[in-house]
Chain A
Amino acid sequence: MATRVVVDPVTRIEGHLRVEAMLDGSNRIQDAISSGTMWRGIEVILQGRDPRDAWAFCERICGVCTTVHALASVRCVENSLGITIPKNAEIIRNIMFLTQMVQDHVVHFYHLHALDWVDIVSALKADPAATASLARSVSPKWPLATEGYFRDIAGTVKKFVESGQLGIFQNAYWGHPAYKLPPEANLMAVAHYLEALKWQKELVKIHTVFGGKNPHPNYVVGGMACAIDLNSDNAINMERLNLVKDQITAAINVVENMYVPDLLAIASFYPEWTTYGGGLGNYMAYGDIPQNGIADVAKFRFPRGVILDKNLGEVLPVDPTDPEQIQEEIAHSWYQYPNGKTSLHPWDGVTEAHYSGPKTPYKELDETKAYSWLKAPRWRGHAMEVGPLARMLVGYASGRAEFKEVVNAALGKLKVGPAALFSTLGRTAARGLETQLAVHWLQDEYDKLIANLKAGDSATADTHSWSPETWKPESKGLGFTEAPRGALCHWIHIKDKKIDNYQIVVPSTWNASPKDGKGQHGAYEAALIGTPMADPKRPVEILRTIHSFDPCLACASHVIGPTGEQLAEVIVR
């Protein structure tokens, strides 16, 4: 009889996620479901409010990928009101976007994902001298690679373990046969877990300079609130810019000399994970990082496109403004559509929350019925994966030189072909390679800001349409971005100076979606199928694949209206 493995809570993620996997006789996953187990209703809360306030509400959808919902929100309001933001505002937003991406990816790798590959207890057996020599061979330029340094780290770990108070590291899967790193590699990774924890709070100071705080920096419809005046001690000036520049320099060092070398070193011990966890094979990116305004998609640093069925020979066009392309299904979601429909365009109005799951406390969900607070978005009927792997593949398949360069270099080091990308490890590696691109783009955007200031342009906001008196009685717009976890889009309908309707389709809703009416699995579910488990009671393998997506459930499950709210139609202009 099949074994059913339940993982709830899935930890080291944002929000609340449940996974149930059905194993065959040889403990291989033959079917799986993922269930979002939280719902907040932010879109309903937005109705009737001032559209200029929407970014602040939306930003609170997620504090891990803080900033991305604020960015999508100001973009959708600006699109609706016909506002073009000044060049400096575009660059500052790009700097904030890239800062977020780099910080988020590094934290994900070390603090949310690494413990799936790294055995802390094994680190106790490491020889500090051998660890130092390993560290130097992995990354010759990283300075913290002495025997004494690793002896101190080993001492910290030893005393912590011997204290008997293991905190967040207790009851974990140490010693599990799926862990393959030698003790020295484990000790090096533990040291870098702590280094990354210390460093991540530094990079975000860039958000504090431009947005006043982090998490949840401030945005403004029309540009940025931080004025630039090189002759003022109370605006963005040379001292502030120097702070930003220093953080970028430090970030390049961390990414190039710690994160990416660690990633490739750890990956080299897990070659079998380039064959598990591929899943759907369909990838989608809206693209982002405008160089000439948000309307000039061709100039984006992250290109837009869709790849179907792992075919890197063709990049299909995707248009988030085209209502024909995206549908949300509810066959396995706790919602109701009118007249028994199970599939609608996101702007075709909404439904009732309709919980039909088991009464709490429950042991198991029924995969033949509704089982999630997430809907199932589909592109032209296909289930899609979004995120770093999708962006890297779209860039690679589009023939962008910088994408090909980092991807080919990594594939060469790991001695594998491009097919290895369609896997759990491919997804994790793509995140690191994307960070490598992002951290250098960060420097480029900073240089652009300086060049623009040199040219005499210090404008940061367009206020022509700030006053609601200047607005049309009714307008519609959308704002998209590439959040760290993937393609994100907000739609707004403004009527009589208020938000009439606001809708959001989020990356983790694509990735963590339940099955649709045709029985097609979402990306998490598809990626789990086929993976062998060494010890079903200790689900390390499930965590590896789920974490490779970097789940964000507060984002994914914000969706749509509660009982009976009929949301008006949004037609994007």
Chain B
Amino acid sequence: MASQPSTYDLIRQHGIDRRTFLNYCTRITAAMGLGAAVVPDVVAAMENKPRIPVIWLHGLECTCCSESFIRSAHPIAQDMILNMISLDYDDVLQAAAGEQVEEIRRRIMKEHKGAYILAVEGNAPTKDDGVYCTIGGQSFLEILKETAADAKAVIAWGSCASHGCVQNARPNPTGAQPVKKIITDKPIINVPGCPPIADVMTGVLTYILTFDKLPELDRAGRPKMFYGQRIHDKCYRRPFFDAGQFVEQWDDEGAKKGWCLYKMGCRGPSTYNSCSTIKWNEGVSFPIGSGHPCLGCSEENFWDNGPFYERLSNVIVPGIDSTPDQLGKALTVLTVAGVGAHVVSQLVRTPKNGASPEK
């Protein structure tokens, strides 16, 4: 194999000067939520490392994760694919087809044993020997096991690979199971969401490349840097929740003023994701920002925790025992009573899907 230039070499060949390159490193560092102190590490990594081979498998899925991935703004998909990783197998973008592409997968597994990243989009049907998803005549279930065996780590893209998602919802006709139920002897990074935010996906990959280690994960196997807090805790509409100002129906006065969507079924209080901070598509908006409640798409079993437009539960205000219906009316009382607004949020309960990752 010919010599492998570093990301910096490649960026230089692009005609990009060092100053722009350093700016770029600063931006991706910020995107990963890291301080300025680590920028030199990022620069060093980009300057010196050959690109990590990535095998990107597709099982039962809808390809929304790949579509999201190519929406990444920093870094853009072109830099990711040409300069940062070596995307050796990905049937959505691959130039070759059929036997030629399966040969690549087998070769990478052999030549880069223990060194390649396995990225999985979608999941495996486990019923009936996996006949509900086959590639090259082989069941996806077998392909997944075979390809994971010599991977350095597994990235489970999206809610399908992380949790099971829509095909795993009741009654799960194909026995679809997430990666963690099938692969148990490898580090797995779950990057849930339907799909995950583009820059979260590229952020996870660039973190691994930059720091040469996997990101710190929470108990659900999710990178803490992107899934550490509830959407509700960082939502710009939160003051309206605390003030008891809610959208009551579509297109009402509250909807026009951008009040809280809790009563329309918003799952922000029980959903761990970066939507209310990083937002979507280069920060243009996020579901709540465009007037629709959060569906909770990065949470386990969110499809079966509906109906979506049914509110999560009552909010109990200490000493008053009011619900959001009464909270608006009780606002003056609250203020007089001096109840800290943040106390209210601590008491939001999610009786149906109470499995908060901190428990």
Among B50, B78, B275, find the residue whose CB has the most chain A CB atoms closer than 10 A: B78
Q: Which of B62, B71, B134 contacts A61 (CB 8 A)?
A: B62
For window 48-76 of chain B, which residues contact chain A by CB distance below 8 Å?
50-51, 53, 58, 60-68, 70-73, 76
Are A201's CB and B70's CB within 8 A?
Answer: yes
Contacts of A164 in B (CB 8 A): 1-4
Contact A39 B142 (CB under 8 A): no
A284 within 8 A of B: no
Q: Provide the residues of chain B in CB contact with A8, threshold 8 Å.
A: 98, 135-137
Q: Are B94 and A215 in contact (CB under 8 A)?
A: no
Complexed CA–CA distance, A209 and B285 (Å): 6
A357 at the interface (CB under 8 A from B): yes
Q: Are A16 and B133 interface neighbours, CB within 8 A?
A: yes
What mask results when residues 121 to 160 of chain A are scored 1 for a CB within 8 Å of chain B, else 0? 0000000000000000000000000000000100110111
Question: Do residues A168 and B70 form an inter-chain contact, with CB atoms below 8 A?
Answer: no
**CB-CB under 8 A for A165 and B257, given A45-B167, A209-B284, A226-B290:** no
B211 at interface, CB cutoff 8 A: no
B132→A39 contact, CB < 8 A = yes
- A14 an interface residue at 8 Å Cβ cutoff? yes
Q: How far is the CA of A262 from the CA of B84 in the complex (A)?
A: 29
Interface presence of B184 (CB below 8 A) = no
Task: Let me know if A6 is at the binding interface, CB within 8 A.
Answer: yes
Residues of B with C-beta under 8 A to A460: 250-251
Distance between A401 CB and nearest chain B CB, rounded to angstroms = 35
Q: B349 near A: Cβ within 8 Å?
A: no
Tell me, yes or no, whether A543 is within 8 Å of chain B by CB.
yes
Q: Is A40 an interface residue (CB 8 A)?
A: yes
Neighbouring A residues of B97 by C-beta, 8 Å? 7, 9-12, 539, 543
Report the Cα distance A169→B90, complex, angstroms.
10
Of residues 220 to 242 in B, which have CB atoms within 8 Å of A's CB atoms?
none
Asked if B63 contacts A9 (CB within 8 A), the reply is no
Nearest CB of B to A171, in Å:
4
Q: State which of B8-16, B23-31, B315-323, B329-337 sits at the interface with chain A.
A: B8-16
Given A10-B98, A52-B309: A212 in contact with B63 (beta carbons within 8 A): no
CB of B295 within 8 A of CB of A227, answer no
Q: Are B4 and A213 in contact (CB under 8 A)?
A: no
- Given A49-B306, A235-B256, A461 and B251 contact (CB-CB distance below 8 Å): yes
Chain A residue numbers with a CB within 8 Å of B4 are 163-165
**Chain B hits for A172, CB < 8 A:** 94-96, 100
Contact with A along B134-145 (1 / 0, CB 8 A): 111111001000
A278 sits at the interface (CB 8 A):
no
CB-based contact A37/B135 at 8 Å = yes
Residues of A within 8 A of B173 (CB): 40-41, 44-45, 353, 561-562
Is A382 positioned at the interface, with any CB of B under 8 Å from its CB? no
* Contact present for A216 and B64 (CB under 8 Å): yes
Residue pair B62, A62 in contact (C-beta under 8 Å): yes
Interface size band for B:
35 or more
Q: Inside 8 A of A226's CB, which chain B residues have their CB? A: 290-292
CB of B115 closer than 8 Å to a CB of A: no
A363 contacts B by Cβ under 8 Å: yes
**B176 touching A212 by the CB < 8 A rule?**
no
Is A456 part of the contact surface with B, judged by Cβ < 8 Å? no
Given A57-B303, A167-B81, decide whether A212 and B171 contact each other with a Cβ distance below 8 A.
no
User: Looking at the complex, which one of A14, A361, A363 makes contact with B63 (CB distance below 8 Å)?
Assistant: A14
Bound-state Cα–Cα, A86 to B303, Å: 29
Q: Which of B136, B138, B280, B308 contacts A214 (CB 8 A)?
A: B280
B348 at the A interface (CB under 8 A): no
Determine which of B82, B176, B285, B295 lies in contact with A40 in the assembled complex, contact meaning CB atoms within 8 Å. Answer: B176
- As a 0/1 sequence over residues 45 to 71 of chain A, the CB contacts with chain B under 8 angstroms (1 = contact) are 100011011001100111110100000
What sequence of 0s and 1s flags, for each residue 259-292 of chain B, a beta carbon within 8 Å of any chain A beta carbon?
0000000000000000100001110111111111
**For the complex, what is the distance from the CA of A451 to the CA of B136, rounded to whole Å?**
54
Whether the Cβ atoms of A44 and B100 lie closer than 8 Å is: no
B243 within 8 A of A: no
Segment from A217-225, A318-326, A406-414 that makes contact with B: A217-225
Report B198 CB to chain A, min CB distance, Å. Answer: 8
- Provide the residues of chain A in CB contact with B67, threshold 8 Å: 63-64, 66, 215
| Minimum Cβ distance to chain A for residue B224 (Å) | 22
* A173 at interface, CB cutoff 8 A: yes
Chain A residue numbers with a CB within 8 Å of B176 are: 40
Interface pair A213/B286, CB less than 8 Å apart: yes
| CB pair A42 B2 closer than 8 Å | no
Q: Which residues of A contact B61 (CB under 8 A)?
A: 63, 554
Closest to B288 in A: A212
Which residues of the partner chain B approach A461 to less than 8 Å between Cβ atoms? 250-251
Residues of A within 8 A of B90 (CB): 168
Write the nearest CB–CB distance from B96 to chain A, whole angstroms. Answer: 4
A569 within 8 A of B: no
A227 pairs with B255, CB closer than 8 A: yes
A201 in complex: contacting residue of B9, B73, B308, CB < 8 Å: B73
Interfacial chain A residues near B291, Cβ < 8 Å? 212, 224-227, 235
Q: Is the CB of B58 within 8 A of A16?
A: yes
Would you call B139 and A360 a contact (CB within 8 A)?
Answer: yes
Min CB–CB distance B289 → chain A (angstroms): 6
Interface residue stretch chosen among A192-200, A392-400, A514-522, A525-533: A192-200
Minimum CB–CB distance from A135 to chain B (whole Å) comes to: 18
Q: Which residues on A sit within 8 Å (CB–CB) of B62?
A: 14, 60-64, 66, 554
Nearest-neighbor residue (CB-CB) of B53 within chain A: A165
Known: A60-B194, A554-B61. A232 touches B166 (CB 8 A): no
Interface residues of A in 338-371 (CB under 8 A from B): 353, 355, 357-363
Nearest A residue (CB) for B76: A198
Residue of A nearest to B236 (CB): A234
Chain B residues whose C-beta falls within 8 Å of the C-beta of A218 in the assembled complex: 287, 290, 292, 295
Give the one of B104, B136, B286 with max A CB within 10 A: B136
Task: Return chain B residues, CB-CB under 8 Å to A279.
Answer: none
Measured CA separation A6–B97 after assembly (Å): 10
A22 within 8 A of B: no
Quick one: given A9-B136, A45-B173, are A213 and B281 in contact (CB under 8 Å)?
A: yes
Contact between chains at A201 and B82 (CB < 8 Å): no
C-alpha spacing A117/B54, complex, angstroms: 26
Q: Which residues of B contact A9 (CB under 8 A)?
A: 91, 97-98, 101-102, 135-136
Docked CA distance A234–B239 (Å) = 13
Q: Is B358 an interface residue (CB 8 A)?
A: no
Q: Does B128 contact A (CB under 8 A)?
A: yes
* B142 touching A361, Cβ below 8 Å: yes
- Our pick among A38, A49, A168, A562 for the contact of B60 (Cβ within 8 Å) is A38
User: Would you call B133 and A362 a contact (CB within 8 A)?
Assistant: no
Are B281 and A205 within 8 A (Cβ)?
yes
Contact between B134 and A165 (Cβ–Cβ < 8 Å)? no
Answer yes or no: A111 CB below 8 A from chain B CBs: yes
User: Which 3 residue pairs of A and B lie closest in terms of their CB atoms, listed nearest first?
Assistant: A63-B64, A234-B258, A41-B173
Interfacial residues, chain A to chain B (CB-CB below 8 A): 6-16, 18, 37-42, 44-45, 49-50, 52-53, 56-57, 60-64, 66, 111, 115, 120, 152, 155-156, 158-160, 162-165, 167-173, 194, 197-198, 200-201, 204-205, 207-216, 218, 220, 222-229, 232-235, 243, 353, 355, 357-363, 373, 459-461, 463, 466, 538-539, 543, 554, 561-562
A-B contact pairs, 10 of them (CB 8 A): A37-B135, A62-B63, A63-B62, A172-B94, A211-B287, A212-B285, A212-B286, A213-B287, A218-B290, A460-B250
Q: A11-B93, A165-B51, A460-B251 are in contact. List 14 more A-B contacts (CB 8 A).
A: A50-B306, A50-B307, A63-B65, A159-B9, A160-B82, A163-B2, A201-B77, A213-B275, A224-B291, A226-B290, A226-B291, A227-B251, A227-B255, A554-B61
